[in-house]
Each structure stands twice: as structure tokens, then as C-alpha cells.
Amino acid sequence: MARVSKEGEGPSDPEMSGAPPPRFQHYFTARPRAPHATRSLRFLYKGRVLTFTTDRGLFSYEQVDPGTSLLIENMDLEGVERMLDLGCGWGAVGVAAAVGIPRGHVVMVDVNHRAVLLARENLRANHLENAEVRQGDLYHPVGEERFDLIVSNPPFKAGRDLVLRLMSEAPRHLRPGGRLLLVGKGSQGVLYYQRWLEERWTKVEVLGRGGGYRVLQASGFPPP
């Protein structure tokens, strides 16, 4: 994927008022208070140039994360009508998926309010109406809805319990034949998560590798 970045102006939204920003906040903070520093990024997906605005306080806001890039390259959308992008950030995965399934529907979820606003803006900027962005914790914003594919570059920094919750609650949100697609690298414990899936799901494949990352696809989920 080609990418280009340049500095821009920060949007004016009310989240910036109040106390001075802390020196460090994780990207998964619900209401980041880091000063805005927006960027423009672009990448090519299925022959289409996709444009994005990103901002400080979000995961990988200066460039597309290499794991995310590998995840998108290995995202098989064949037969997918409904897809969930869990932890969508500024929207790289979900926006690409919306392009890939023009007659399908993509639900994007993130806990980070700033990410949600930008993911919505990025859907608009790419003229995509077959996707929506919801704010909240993991599967909470989707209630009982089910999907053909759940895709995530999980928030590993939020801790193992959260990643295990993401994987163990996936079956409850998959349609029959549904798949879970994840990316991670060795230092994030991807082998541990691969083994965890292998012990529970019928089939776990490594669809892509590169730069220490691997893309895992799990199918044949255990009973919810």
C-alpha cells in the first residue's frame, strides 16, 4: 500500500477544553486530551486511492501500522455481507472493507471518541455509505448482532484480559460459517493467542507473515 502524509490543522471539538493534557495517554483512552495534530494519509486498496485524516491520541496516527497493512492485504471478503471492525481507530480496516463489499455493511467500533469521530469523517471523505461507526467497549455497541467476519488489530497494550475477551466473545457475534481475523506480532504475544485459538476453534490459519507480524484466521468457532 502506498502512503503519503502531511501535517494539517486540528479540528475544533469540545474534548480539548479543561485541564492541560497529561504527558502520556494510551491510544485506547476514551477521551484523549492530547493536543490535536492531524495528518493526511492515503493508501491504495483494490485500485482505489483512499484518503484519511488521522490525529494524535490515536493508534498509529502518523502512518498506517505495518500490522494493519498486512491485515488489510489478507482480508478475504468473499461472501461477506456483514463485517465488524473491532477497535477501528481512524478507520483504515473498516474503510477498506466498505470498499471491498459495496453491497455489504461494515460496523466499526472503538472506545476512543476521537477515533470514532475521525473514522466517521474518513467514511464521508471516501464517499462510503455502507459502513457506520459506534463508540463503546468491544462488542457492547453491537448488542446481539452477528457478522460473517470480525476483523481486528487488537489493542494488545490494553492487556491480555481484553484480547482474550475479544476472542472468547467472538462466537456469540458470528453467523454460521463466520470467521475471526486478527493480526499481531511476537512481542505482542501472537503465538500465545494463536495457541489459545487452536485449542478452541476447528481451524486456525496463518494467512500472512511479515516484519514479525502474523495474520491469524480462525474458523469453526466453538459454541458460544
Ligand X SMILES: C[S@@+](CC[C@H](N)C(=O)[O-])C[C@H]1O[C@@H](n2cnc3c(N)ncnc32)[C@H](O)[C@@H]1O
Return residues touching ligand X (CB under 6 A): 27-28, 59-60, 65, 68, 87-89, 92-93, 109-112, 115, 137-138, 153, 155, 158, 162
Minimum Å gap between C-beta 35 and ligand X is 18
Instruction: With beta carbons less than 8 A apart as the criterion, state whether 215 and 207 touch.
Output: yes
Where do we find the cell 453491537? 142
Cα 93 to Cα 43: distance, rounded to the nearest angstrom: 11
* Closer of 72 and 177 to ligand X (Cβ): 72
* Closer of 53 and 153 to ligand X (Cβ): 153
Strand partners, 183: 215
Minimum Å gap between C-beta 78 and ligand X is 21
* Closer of 111 and 170 to ligand X (Cβ): 111
* Closer of 28 and 201 to ligand X (Cβ): 28
Cα 137 to Cα 123: distance, rounded to the nearest angstrom: 21
- Strand arrangement of the beta sheet that strand 4-7 belongs to: 4-7, 39-45, 48-54
Cα 36 to Cα 67: distance, rounded to the nearest angstrom: 24
Cα 29 to Cα 150: distance, rounded to the nearest angstrom: 22
Minimum Å gap between C-beta 206 and ligand X is 18
Minimum Å gap between C-beta 176 and ligand X is 25
* Closer of 157 and 203 to ligand X (Cβ): 157
Minimum Å gap between C-beta 110 and ligand X is 5
Cα 11 to Cα 122: distance, rounded to the nearest angstrom: 14
User: At a CB cut-off of 8 Å and minimum separation 6, what does 89 contact?
Assistant: 27, 58, 59, 60, 110, 112, 115, 119, 153
Residue with CB nearest ligand X? 87
